[in-house]
């Protein structure tokens, strides 16, 4: 019986012999279906470079996503009842 120090490791990789049927034809269709299920829409804006760099610094500091910040600003600042 070999000792633990000299024993070799054997890695076994299992391959699926039958592939799973694709649900979506491509990545774009998959993302579109995800957005539909979650009720999301895409919003594209053009902002000055200095604002974008300040936003990136803020996002790193707060550990949040751009989507969270933009949704919060729109909800809390623009759509609030006055």
Residue with tokens 């579109």: 32
**pTM greater than the 0.85 cutoff:** no
pLDDT in tens, 18-72: 778 889 999 999 999 999 999 999 999 999 999 999 999 999 999 999 999 999 9
Per-residue 3-state assignment (H helix, E strand, C coil) for 18-82: CCCCCCCCCHHHHHHHHHHHHCCCCCCCCCCHHHHHHHHHHHHHHCCCHHHHHHHHHHHHHCCCC
**Cα dihedral sign for 28, 75, 57, 63?**
negative
């Amino acid at each position: 019986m070999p000792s633990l120090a000299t024993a070799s490791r054997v890695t076994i990789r299992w391959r699926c012999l039958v592939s799973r049927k694709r649900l979506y034809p491509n990545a774009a269709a998959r993302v579109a279906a995800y957005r539909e299920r979650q009720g999301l829409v895409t919003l594209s804006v053009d902002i000055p470079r200095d604002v974008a760099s300040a936003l990136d610094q803020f996002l790193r500091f707060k550990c949040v996503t751009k989507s969270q910040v933009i949704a919060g600003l729109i909800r809390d600042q623009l759509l609030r009842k006055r």
